[in-house]
Chain A
């Protein structure tokens, strides 16, 4: 069993804490995404797990072994992990086959076993025809598959992926996303996946840890993160959200621009400032006043763009706040018109941070 357990992990470069007291328990066989903007500490966290860096504080346990702590750090080669690098890091002086079997040769496996495993992984990654090529002769997607094969053939307890798809074009990226998930389901190793792309995280992860400023801002399933953001940062970073700032009337009502919004999510305290997030496509927009006045606000359209599958509106409310709304193409309101916005209460999430 190889669960990965980060306990109060901290990495400081000088005075700057790049990873700041991160605790995260990843069960065996789970795929966890570290998601966040560049500079949020996700790659540093990954390199700490791999053992390329020594923590300034905190501990990393793999299974029941302590592998990293302030006092001692097990070097990467003794961790039984594999890693796929952003640059792929394929060795240009070795053929595809030599690259892939490198780890097995280090483990001094029998020649026949190596050949058998090689054939199997070449099949899985569809690389049979390219086995004798050099990395310089492969396309980006092929290189990516070699990197994957090289990492998987050693049957690691833990697989680490550092932005593995960022160098691929959009179509290939989508295809490889599912490929990575499929291989994970097939082999069931514990996987830590670093990315800044939220849709990549959504499609591959069991759990997403959204990181910001060296800390984990929110940890949850893709659905948790998307539908129930807890902080302004997560709401803005995942999907397209409007963030409204108003004043709490009671535990689940917020006054905002003369209207009262019923909200869900965090418990509010009357009289305090409240931050509410709502997705652009959850906002209803129409010329007629809605039947119920609950959560309805009047606004003026300041911009409208036809996007093919939808329309993108920018509207302005009486107090000057601008909101964006995405509607079906049938809702066609010209710029300058007065409209009614409906913000469904179950979609208005009060944020705790």
Chain B
């Protein structure tokens, strides 16, 4: 019977694609489950691997650990509150009023978003170190005072700098909620007799509140798990946060069990906060998105609009204008904090970084290799998982989706500890190679890459693929000729996103690097320890230049189909 022979082949091919998908699933399990298992194992055992709770007893009784825990709580809480106080009015002004320059303000907030926090911290060292800081120099020059105005090496200074680079998270969430809030909801209140203030109080604010609280939770999380800024600012001031404490446990003599145990509260708290955020946003926050609503009306502010713009610009002085000015100045200044004039300007720093500093070449090479390979592998991985989950190709697609999102709950330093424990012993020794950094960066960036591509897939109607199948194309042909071209923009954006993420990653790299696998962010951290701030400025600027160059280049590669294709969904 011919029927049997024709139907045998496709069945086996289908199993082949399933096999590939199962391989992906296995890889993801290794990527995420393995390091966390080692982490938990170490946290609950002693050096001989006998089960014990002693690590946690030490953690919660020894002041050397209790103090950082408390400090971290203070920093995270205060930063979250600060971020909300600053971000809420700015996002409202940008989203709902006729303030001039709204687009510029948005762009500037994005600029502080993409600034690596450790670079910002170094810039604020240049500005507000007690003796050499430029703002303190200016203050002394103007007033003749002896004491400095600011001391960035303090709890207040640290909270300030963390808030500078965390408030964009709150801004994005709140501005998004306000942008998407249907104008009709406010109009309905107005037509029923609600005055502007009543409408704001009874309608606008309650609708935006979940987004604000969710933003506060994210800010708390960021502040809690950040490594770079506390390491740069808190260590010279003589105190520790949880992340710097975990890092210090890796210094000689290493106390891996304690490091693992210290990572556990961070992990649990992160999971808890993310659940809270999901709950808040899931219930009301964005439920108004969609449907045929008109855009919201903007509020006319009359003469106040310039005052509002001034307020935004003054706020943005702190994360953007002042730090970037300080970095640019330092790059051409003889000692980092002297104001550059035509007579003092020098190229010495640039020459030093690129010719004399031996590790620059290596770090640049490593960073670009890791950035490009993480971005490529991560995009492919996220693409496959997003395809499987949106098209429900295999039965366990939910599990795959969960695995891809799970690393969101693992702070960089915790993952670093987990990977260190997993791959420093046989059978797989990756420590000391770029592979372990690749795994770390891949895991860290997977959740956002997956979410981006899943959103991209969701906009492509499954019938577009079905139509291709029924006309005679195989699943792979359909993916290549229909799905891939339609996903092009999303894929490129995701690739760039991961590349940038790798460039700015420090907290996992700091635990995993060796002298041969140094990356740019670690090099910057090292240079800070040796006090070479001018060199950091040069490297920081180089980092931004590389980022822009790569993003531009990637956008020009005609990856799939013609670049002129019009991506319009009918």
Q: How far is the CB of B473 from chain A (nearest CB, A)?
A: 6
What are 14 A-B contacts with C-beta separation under 8 Å?
Answer: A66-B3, A76-B470, A77-B472, A77-B474, A83-B467, A89-B464, A90-B467, A92-B486, A93-B561, A136-B568, A138-B570, A143-B570, A154-B471, A160-B470
- Chain A interface residue bracket vs B: 35 or more
Q: Do the beta carbons of B567 and A67 come within 8 Å of each other?
A: no
Contact A89 B461 (CB under 8 A): yes
Per the 8 Å Cβ criterion, residues 148-174 of A in contact with B are: 150-151, 154, 160
Most buried by A among B464, B472, B565: B472
Q: Looking across the interface, which residue of chain A has its beta carbon closest to that of B461? A: A87
Q: Is B567 a contact partner of A92 (Cβ separation < 8 A)?
A: yes
- Complex contact A86–B14 (CB within 8 A): no
A209 to B208 CA separation, bound complex (whole angstroms): 52
Binding site for A on B (CB under 8 A): 2-4, 6-8, 10-11, 14, 461, 463-464, 466-475, 477, 481-482, 485-486, 561, 565-570
* Cβ A65 vs Cβ B6 within 8 A: yes
Chain B minimum-CB-distance residue to A106: B472
Flag A74-101 by CB within 8 Å of B: 1 or 0 each. Answer: 1111111111011111111100000000
- 5 tightest CB-CB pairs across the interface, nearest first? A136-B568, A103-B471, A89-B463, A89-B467, A66-B3
> Is A93 a contact of B463 with CB atoms below 8 Å?
no
A187 interface residue, CB < 8 Å from B?
A: no
Q: Are A86 and B463 in contact (CB under 8 A)?
A: yes
Distance to closest chain A CB from B97 (angstroms) = 34
A72-B11, A74-B10, A89-B461 as given contacts; A65 in contact with B3, CB under 8 Å = yes
A123-159: contact bitstring with B at CB < 8 Å (1 yes, 0 no)? 0000000000011101000010000001100100000
Known A-B contacts A76-B466, A77-B472, A81-B470; A88 and B10 likewise in contact (beta carbons under 8 Å) = no
Asked if A107 is at the interface of the complex by the 8 Å CB criterion, the answer is yes
Query: A178: CB under 8 A from chain B?
Result: no
With A65-B2, A74-B7, A102-B471 already in contact, the answer to whether A85 and B566 are too (CB < 8 A) is: no
Given A76-B470, A89-B463, A92-B486, residue A135 in contact with residue B3 (CB < 8 A): no
In the bound complex, do residue B486 and residue A93 qualify as a contact, i.e. CB atoms below 8 Å apart? yes
Give the interface SS of chain B, mostly helix, strand, loop or mixed: helix
**Which B residues lie within 8 Å of A86 (CB)?**
463
Whether A73 is near chain B, meaning CB under 8 Å from some CB there, is yes
Instruction: State the CA gap A81–B477 with chains docked (Å).
Output: 17
Report Cα–Cα, A112/B187, bound state, in Å: 61
Give A99's nearest chain B residue, CB to CB: B467
Contacts of B470 in A (CB 8 A): 50-51, 76-77, 79, 81-83, 160
Alpha-carbon distance A51/B565, docked complex (angstroms): 30
For B482, give the chain A residue with the smallest CB separation: A91
- B2 contact set on A, CB distance < 8 A: 65
Which residue, of B3, B10, B466, B570, has the highest number of chain A Cβ atoms within 10 A? B570
Q: What 1/0 flags go to A270-307 for Cβ under 8 Å of B?
A: 00000000000000000000000000000000000000
B473 to chain A: which residues have CB within 8 Å?
Answer: 77, 102, 106
Q: Which residue of B lies closest to A135 (CB)?
A: B570
B314: min CB distance to chain A, Å: 45
In the bound complex, how far is the Cα of B2 from the Cα of A67, in angstroms?
11
Q: Are A90 and B6 in contact, CB atoms less than 8 angstroms apart?
A: no
CB pair A92–B7 under 8 Å, yes or no, is: no
A85 pairs with B6, CB closer than 8 A:
no
Residues of chain B within 8 A (CB-CB) of A150 are: 467, 471
CB distance from A265 to the nearest CB of B (A): 41
Q: Which residue of A lies closest to B8 (CB)?
A: A72
* Residues of chain A with a CB closer than 8 A to B6's CB: 65, 74, 78
List 6 additional A-B contacts (Cβ < 8 Å) besides A77-B470, A91-B486, A92-B486: A65-B6, A76-B469, A87-B463, A89-B461, A106-B471, A107-B472
Assess the A93–B7 pair: CB atoms within 8 A: no
Q: Which residues on A sit within 8 Å (CB–CB) of B10?
A: 72-75, 78
Q: How far is the CA of A64 from the CA of B2 in the complex (A)?
A: 9
Given A85-B463, A93-B485, A93-B486, A102 and B468 contact (CB-CB distance below 8 Å): yes
Q: Please, how many angstroms separate the alpha-carbon atoms of A306 and B10 in the complex?
A: 61
Cα distance A134–B570 in the bound complex, in angstroms: 9
Distance between B476 CB and nearest chain A CB, rounded to angstroms: 11
A142→B14 CA distance, assembly (Å): 36
Q: Which B residues are in CB contact (< 8 Å) with A79? A: 470
Output the nearest chain A residue to B465 by Cβ-Cβ distance: A89
Compute how far the CA of A82 lies from the CA of B469 in the bound complex, rounded to whole angstroms. 9
**Chain A hits for B561, CB < 8 A:** 93
Query: How far apart are the CA atoms of A79 and B469 in the complex, in Å?
Result: 10
Which residue of chain B has the shortest Cβ distance to A162 in the bound complex?
B463
Q: Check A136 against B472 for contact (C-beta < 8 Å).
A: no
With A78-B10, A102-B471, A106-B473 in contact, do A92 and B466 touch (Cβ < 8 Å)?
A: no
Task: Please indicate the chain A residues that have their CB under 8 angstroms from the CB of B485 in the complex.
Answer: 93
